[in-house]
Structures are given as C-alpha cells and as structure tokens.
Amino acid sequence: MRLLVAAVAAAALIACAGAAPPDGGDNKRTVPPGAHLRTDGVTFRTPDGQVFHWRGITAFRLLEYTAHGQEADAEAFLAWAASRDLTVVRVLAMGAGWMSLSPSDGRAALPRLLDLAARHGLYVEIVALAGSADIAVDPAEQVAAIGRIAAAHANAVLELANEPTHPTQAREVHEPQALARFASAIRNVPVALGADEGEGFAAGDYVTWHVPRDVRFDGWGHVLEIARGAEMLRRWKKPLVSDEPIGAGPIYDAGRRDTDPARFRAAGLLTRLAGLGATFHYEAGLHARVPTGRELECFNAWNEAWTVLPDDIETSGVFHRAGDGGAAVASFDSGAALAVFERQRADTAWVIAVGVRGDPGLKWAPGWQPSEVRRSDRLQVLRARKAK
C-alpha cells in the first residue's frame, strides 16, 4: 500500500511540474551495486570509466521524510528528479529548527533512502554535519557512521559539513585539519570536506563551493562569480561542485533568492562551460518539495544547459574570458554585455555573452568566425569555428 501511495504521489507531482517521466512513467535508470564514483583529475567517473555529469538539486529534508513515516513524499521527489534527468540529490543527515532529524534517526533511515534513490538512478550527496553546535553529536562518530553506511551503497557521495565555519557548527568542525582527519577513516566513497574557500577545505577527493551571492550588476553578479570556479579547478586539479549558489524563490530576496529565469539559464550554462558540477538550489528544496511557479520556471531555464552545450563540454578544452591570450573572442562592447566567456576545443569555441543588451559587439581573433547563434533574454550562446 505504501508503494502504491508513493507511485500515485510521484505521478501527481510530475504532472503538476509539467513533465511526464520517460518510457511512459517508469524511469529505467538504476545505479548498479558495486563500486562508487571515482575522481579522475577534475572529472567524476562511473566504475566503467564513463564521465559522470553532476546535475544536482537541493533536497535537504529527504532523509527526514524517510526517517519519519513520509517515505511516499521522498519517493515522489526522487521520481520527479529522475524524470528531469537530474543525477544527484543533496540531503542533510541531521538538522534542527526548521528540520527535526536527530543524528541517530538519520543514520537509521539512510540505507533506505540510498536504496530508493538507486532505483531511480540517482546519487545522494550526504551532508553529515549540519547544525552541529545546536545538536548533541560527536562529529567524528557521526562522520564515521555515515561513512560506513555510504561505503555499502554505490550511489553515495559524502560532504562532511555544510558551511563548516558557520556559527551553527561545532567549534571542532571549523578546523579543516579535523575534517581531514575524519575523512581519512572513510574508504571508497568520494568525500568533500565542506564548502568554504581556502586550501585546507579543498583537501578532500572533490571540492564543494558556495558561489558568492553577489547582487551587483543589476542582479547578475552571482552569475559572473561562477567563472572564478575555472581558476579553482586549475589550482586544485580535482572536481569542483557549485552546490549551494543563490537559490530560486517565489519572491526576490537580495543576496539569498533570485526570481529571474534568465539569470538561472545563464548560471547553468556558465557552470558547465567553466567545468564545474552544478546543483540547483531553491527555497522549496530546503524542504525537498518539487519546484512550482517561479521556482519551476527558474529550474527549467537552468536545466536547459544540458541540451544547449555538448555532452562532454566540461571535460575537454580550455576556459577563457574574452580578451585572454588565445581566446576566440578578442574583445566586446562592455556597454552592451556584462561579460563574455568561452570554452575552446581545437577549432571550435562555445561562447556565452552574459547580461546582453542589444549587440554585444564581439570582435573575433584572426581566423575565428561564428557559425551558430542562439539568443534568449539577456544571453547569447554562440558556436565559432577557426578556419584551417
């Protein structure tokens, strides 16, 4: 009966969100048992060596639902996420205040959630420590226990702490050396220490980054900040995931929530162009609810990035800003566009002009010619080729 309710709820949510799951209602992806994802330079790979595309979404309370008799809600969300070709859900393993999940309850329910997600072909990024200053927990014990569970499930990846230096985290969690010590006991599971800038917090297998929520440039600042991720990749030489950028919301809230689908479309494209993993963050995602209304519009715009750019764009070529040495775009009209970025692969360059008003006045380096242009609100995507 519980599974029937879950299936009905999933179908209803997907219908409300404006999309049907592929293959007539049953998503056919699964995560096979066995080895976990592995890192290969700046790329995640599946056990058979295929590139894994991190296309994630915030779902903080998903484990709480599984723990507290709301498995149908968790199942419905997972079904919807799979129907939109997402690959990762980001969940909290504990929480207080607007959540009510003790560390012990979270650990008890985690194997079940991982099994549910695997049936939908989804990976789970488990955030082991959240609100650790306000909840009675031994951080080392919590991480070790979550790590053991994650090691038994091939679709698990682990972020040790959400914003480790936040005042809501225990003092020990603020220290990257302590987190690195916790991580050293975990085997076979990709581990990130937590989203804070600095060399110490980049010591895991992969790195998580909360892109600064800049509201300058008529609200486009947080989009422009994404480009800095390409420099971090070059420095750290391991996968980098933008896992909690500014979120979509029903109401604009400067520095916290944005409501403009055009900016989320640009953010998705630029995240991929820069070579980062991408996670869609939004207000209802804190409660693991399927986006609706303006949040859904923003999600759909963000999700277009995987249909516009080549499938392997993150894994090859060189990221440039317009005017860099070797860039295909030598200059542009800064009065008509906020910035221009590109990823150049051999004789092809994919170019994104951000915050466009009118003609961005692109000037091409010798030999380069645009062969395709796609325009949308405040954005241009171009493909250029270099004559041989």
Q: Which of 129-133, 368-372, 378-382 has the lowest mean pLDDT?
A: 368-372
Task: Report DSSP letters for 256-285, one per residue.
Answer: TEE--HHHHHHHHHHHHHTT-EEEE-BGGG
- Predicted pLDDT at 34: 78
In the predicted structure, residue 7 carries a pLDDT above the cut 60: no
Confidence of residue 16 (pLDDT cuts 50, 70, 90): very low
Task: Report DSSP letters for 102-152, one per residue.
Answer: -HHHHHHHHHHHHHHHHHTT-EEEEEEESSTTTS---HHHHHHHHHHHHHT
In the predicted structure, residue 72 carries a pLDDT above the cut 90: yes
For residue 308, report the phi and psi dihedrals to the nearest 5 degrees.
-90, -45
d(CA 221, CA 232): 18
- Predicted pLDDT at 197: 64
Do 372 and 332 meet the contact criterion of CB atoms below 8 Å apart?
Answer: no
Alpha helices in 159-276 (DSSP H): 176-183, 221-225, 228-236, 261-273
- Predicted pLDDT at 141: 98
pTM: 0.92
d(CA 52, CA 44): 5
Strand order in the sheet with 38-40: 38-40, 43-45, 51-52
- Predicted pLDDT at 8: 38
Q: Which residues of 24-33 are buried (b: 16+ CB within 10 A; e: fewer)?
A: eeebeeebee
Q: Which of 30-34, 120-124, 235-239, 306-310 has the lowest mean pLDDT?
A: 30-34
Residues contacting 219, CB < 8 A, separation 6+: 258, 260, 263
Residues contacting 386, CB < 8 A, separation 6+: 328, 347, 348, 349, 367, 368, 369
d(CA 26, CA 388): 47
Mean pLDDT of the chain: 92
Q: What integer is the mean pLDDT of 234-240?
A: 96
Percentage of the chain lying above the pLDDT 90 cut: 88
d(CA 352, CA 329): 10
Confidence of residue 372 (pLDDT cuts 50, 70, 90): confident
In the predicted structure, residue 226 carries a pLDDT above the cut 80: yes
CA distances to 86, 148, 282 from 253, rounded to whole Å, are 26, 39, 12
> Phi/psi zone of residue 242: left (φ > 0), alpha (ψ -120 to 50 degrees), beta?
beta
Do 9 and 16 meet the contact criterion of CB atoms below 8 Å apart?
Answer: no
- Identify the helix (H) or strand (E) that includes residue 306: helix 305-308
49 C-beta neighbours (distance < 10 Å), count: 8
DSSP at 20: P
Three-state DSSP state, 309: coil
- Predicted pLDDT at 304: 97
The terminus-to-terminus CA distance of the chain in angstroms comes to: 64
- Predicted pLDDT at 26: 45
Q: What integer is the mean pLDDT of 27-38?
A: 80
For residue 138, report the phi and psi dihedrals to the nearest 5 degrees.
-90, 110
Beta bridge partners of 352: 341, 381
Beta bridge partners of 123: 88
Q: What integer is the mean pLDDT of 142-171?
A: 96
- Predicted pLDDT at 195: 87
- Predicted pLDDT at 71: 98
Considering all CA atoms of the chain, what is the largest pairwise distance in Å, rounded to the nearest integer?
66
In the predicted structure, residue 25 carries a pLDDT above the cut 70: no
DSSP at 205: S
